[in-house]
Structure 1
Amino acid sequence: MVEFFYIVKNSRGKKEKGSILANDETEAVRLLQKEKYVILDLYLKNKSLSKAGLSRGATQKVRRKKTVSLDDMRWFFDQMGTLLEASVDIIRALEMVAMHVKSEPLFLALISMKTDVFAGVSLADAMHKFPKIFPLYMRSLVFIGEQSGDLAKVMSQISINIEKSDSFRKKMVKSMIYPIVLISFSIFAISVFLLKVIPTFVNIFNSFDIEMPYLTSIIIKMSDILRSYILYIILVVFLLFIYIKKIVRVPKHRLKIDELVLQIPVLGELLLYSSLVAFVSSLHLMLSSGTTMLESLTLSRLSMKNLYLQMLIDKVRDRVKEGNSVSSRLKDFPIFPEFIVQMISIGEESGRLVDMLSEISKYYTKSLSDSIERFTVLIEPLIIVFVGGIIGVLVIGMFLPIFQLTNIAG
C-alpha cells in the first residue's frame, strides 16, 4: 500500500491535513469521499497527483473572492467548452479551469466535481451537489450534453447565454447609476433645506410678525415634522425595507410583485424582454440538443427570474401536454408579444421551430439593447424635471414672505 497525503475540508468547512494508506489514487479518493470530505489536494510525499487533486501549491497562486459572479460562470463554461472541443479529458479540463478560477466557492465546487468525476460520477450529477452555483436548468443542459455527446457545444452555448444575461444586467446597472446618484443627492439637499435652511428663514419671518402664505405654511410644517420625528422616520423606513425584503421571499407575494413590476412603463418592458431572451435562448438550446418540448418548457422557464412569467409558462406547458401547440397557448396570455407567438407558430407549421427560436433570440437581444438606451434617455430628464420642481416649490415657498415684506415696505 502507498501513503497518500491530503488536504481536505470537513463537513464544518474547516481544512484538515493528514495521510491515508491506499492501493492507488482511486481508492484514496473513495476512502476520503466516504468520510464526506471535500478534497483540496491529494499527493505523494514529493509528487503531486494530477488526477486526484490540484497540484500542490496551485491553490495559493490565485487570490480568490468569496462570491460567484455571472462573469465567473461565463468564464467557467466558456473555458470548459473550449477545452472539451479540443478533446481535453474532462477531469484534466476541470483541473485546468479550477487552477485559474477567481471565485473561492466555485473553486471548491470544481475540486469536488473533479473528484466525483474521477470516481465515475457524471458531470451533471457532480454539479447537483452545488445547486446555488449551478441552477437546475444549467445542470439539465449539461446532462443533455453528456447524453447527446455534444457537451462541448452545450457548455459553449451556456456561456453565450450567460454573457447575454450579464451584458444586459450591466447595461441596466450603468443606466441606473446617474439617476440613483441624482435622486440620492436631491434627497440629501432637500433634507438639509428642510432641517437647516427653513428654520433660519422662520426666525426671520417671525421677527416681522407677518401672516405666512399658504404654501410657506405647508413647507414650514413639513420642516417641523421632519425635525421632530426624523429618527422615527428613519426607523420606519428601515423597518419597511426589512419588511419588503421579507415578504418578497414569500412565493405568493413575490408572484404578485413580479406581475406588478411588469406593468411599470418602460421598466416593465425591459424586464420582460430580458426574461424572454433568457427563456427563448434556453429553449432553443434544449430543443436543438434533442430534448422534448415538455421537458424543455419545464427547464427553460427556470432561466427567467420572474415568478409570474414562470407561472405562465407552466400553464402553457400543461396545455401543450393536452395536445395543444405552444403558439396557440401563448396567445392566451397577452403579455407575450405577438411577434413571438407568430414566429413560434411559423416554426411549428414549417418544422423549423429551432431556427425560429434562434431568430427570436436575436431580435429580442437587439430590442432589449434599444429599450435600455430609450430608458436611459427618458429617465434622466424626467428625474431632473421632477427633482427640480420640488426644489423650485421649496425655494418659491420661502421667498413668498420676502416678496410680501417688500410690498409692505414699499
Structure 2
Amino acid sequence: MGVSPIDISEAKAGTGLQTEIKIPGFEKGVGLKDLAIMARQASTMLSSGLSLLRALTILADQTENKKLQDILGKVRDDVERGVSLSDAVAKYPVDFPPIMINMIRAGEAGGFLDQAMDSIATNFEKEHKLRSTIKSAMTYPVVVLVMSLVAVVVMLVFIVPIFQKMFSGLGGQLPLPTLMLVYMSHAMTYVGPVLLVAVVAFSFWWRANKNTDRVRAFVDPVKLRLPVFGQLNRKIVIARFARNFSNMIGAGVPILQALQIVGEVSNNFVVQRALERVAESVRKGESIAGPLAQEKVFPEMVSQMVAVGEDAGSLEVMLEKIAVFYDNEVESTTEALTSLIEPLLIAFLGVVVGGMIVALYLPIFKITSLIH
C-alpha cells in the first residue's frame, strides 16, 4: 500500500537537519577579505550604472559569508525604506569599521560613492595582504615552538616516570641532570593541571578585556618597545596610519574627523592618543606636520614628508608614498626575522629535547662504564 503527499512546501532554512549550530564566540565573523570583495563588487556595479538598491540586492545574494549576507539583506531593506547607506551600515559597528562608514558617508555627500567604495576595497585589500604576510611568516616559528612545548610536556609527564621506576630498581645516586629532570617531572604532575586551568582562564579573560582602554594602555606601549619585534610593530602601525589617512582625505573626509577615525582604527593605543593630540593642535590652527613631529611614535621622516605634502597641496599622495614605503619595510623586516628565528627555534628544540634525552640516559651510561 503506497502513500501520496497531500502538501509540498519548501523547507525553511534553520529548521530540521538544516539547523545551524552556533556556539557563542565561535561564529564566523566578517573579515577584511569579505569587506574588500564586497566593496570592490559594489564599486564595479555602481560605476556601471546600477542603482544602489539593485547592487545591494545582488551583493546580498552572492556574498558567501553568511553573517555578511544577513547584514547586507537588512541594509538593503533599510535603504529601500529611505535610510542612507552610511546610516544603514552604521548600525553594525562591530562588522563595519569606522573608516568604512565615514568614507561611505563622504562618498554619498560628494556624489562619488563608487569611488569611495573603490578606495575602501583598495585599503582593505592592502591591509589584508599586510596581515597575511605577517601571519604566514610567523606560522612556522609558532608551530615549532608549540611542538617543542608539547615534546617537553610529554617527556616530563609520561617518559621520565618510566625511566625513574627503572632507575629506582638499580639503586645508587642519580646524576644531577637526571635528578633535576625527575624533580621537574614531579612538579609537572602537580603544577600541570593548575597551569592548564590558569592558561584557559587567562584566555577567556584576555578575550573579554583585550580591547579595553586599561589593557591597551599597558599592552600597546610594550608592543612598540619589544626587542626585535618592537620596530616591526612600529612599522606596521605607521603603514596603517598613512594608508588610512590617505584614503580618508581622498574620500573627502574632513581632516579633524579623519585624524580621529584613523586613530580609532590604528589598533594601537599609543598611536590613537598621539593622533588625538595632533587633532587638538590642528583644531587650534596648527599644521599637521608640526604636532606630528612632537610625537615620538612617528619617525622624523614621516613628519617631514607630511610637511612637504602640506606645502605642495598633495598630502594624500605623500601619505600614500609613506604607506607604500612602510609596507615594503614590514615585508622585508618580516622576511629577515623569519630567516633568523627559524634556525634559532630549531636549535632550541634540539638543545632542550636532546638535553632531556641525554639526562635520561646518563645513569645508564654510568652503570655501563662501571661494569666495564
TM superposition score normalised by structure 1: 0.79
Q: Is 2:29–2:95's contact at 8 Å kept on the other side of the alignment?
A: no
Query: What SS does the aligned partner of 1:324 have?
Result: coil
What is the deviation of 1:119? 2.6
Return the structure number with greater strand share: 1
- Is 2:289 the partner of 1:293? no
What is the deviation of 1:162? 0.5
Output the aligned Cα RMSD.
2.4
Relative to 1, partners in 2 of residues 1:230 and 1:296: Cα closer, same or farther, differing over 3 Å? closer
Of 75-84 and 97-106, deviating more is 97-106
Q: Is 1:124–1:139's contact at 8 Å kept on the other side of the alignment?
A: yes
Matches of residues 153-168 of structure 1 in structure 2 within 5 Å? 153-168=115-130
Q: Which residue of 1 aligns with 2:332?
A: 370
- Is 2:68 the partner of 1:68? no
**Which AA in structure 1 matches 2:363?**
P
Of 180-189 and 145-154, deviating more is 180-189
Q: Is 1:161–1:278's contact at 8 Å kept on the other side of the alignment?
A: no
- Structure 2 residue runs without a partner (length 5+): 1-13, 16-26
Whole-angstrom CA distance in 1 between matches of 2:107 and 2:83: 15
Q: Is 2:281–2:291's contact at 8 Å kept on the other side of the alignment?
A: yes
Q: Is 2:141–2:341's contact at 8 Å kept on the other side of the alignment?
A: yes
Whole-angstrom CA distance in 2 between matches of 1:296 and 1:244: 30
Whole-angstrom CA distance in 2 between matches of 1:365 and 1:150: 28
What is the deviation of 1:249? 4.0
Matches of residues 201-212 of structure 1 in structure 2 within 5 Å? 201-212=163-174
Whole-angstrom CA distance in 1 between matches of 2:345 and 2:209: 29
What is the deviation of 1:116? 2.3
- Structure 1 residue runs without a partner (length 5+): 1-13, 16-64
Larger RCO (CA under 8 A, 6+ residues apart): 2
Query: What SS does the aligned partner of 2:297 have?
Result: coil
Q: Which residue of 2 aligns with 1:125?
A: 87
Matches of residues 7-406 of structure 1 in structure 2 within 5 Å? 67-406=29-368
**Which AA in structure 1 matches 2:199?**
V
**Which AA in structure 1 matches 2:244?**
S
Cα deviations across residues 125-165 of structure 1 (Å, max 9, x unaligned)?
A: 12122212212221111111111122111100100110111
Aligned length in residues: 350
Whole-angstrom CA distance in 2 between matches of 1:184 and 1:151: 47
Cα deviations across residues 226-275 of structure 1 (Å, max 9, x unaligned)?
A: 12443233223222333333442432122211221222234333333332
**Which AA in structure 1 matches 2:83?**
V
Query: What SS does the aligned partner of 1:262 have?
Result: helix
Whole-angstrom CA distance in 2 between matches of 1:275 and 1:287: 18
Whole-angstrom CA distance in 1 between matches of 2:333 and 2:42: 33
Query: What SS does the aligned partner of 2:225 have?
Result: coil
Of 333-342 and 147-156, deviating more is 333-342
What is the deviation of 1:401? 2.5
Cα deviations across residues 35-86 of structure 1 (Å, max 9, x unaligned)?
A: xxxxxxxxxxxxxxxxxxxxxxxxxxxxxx9532222111110011111111
TM superposition score normalised by structure 2: 0.86
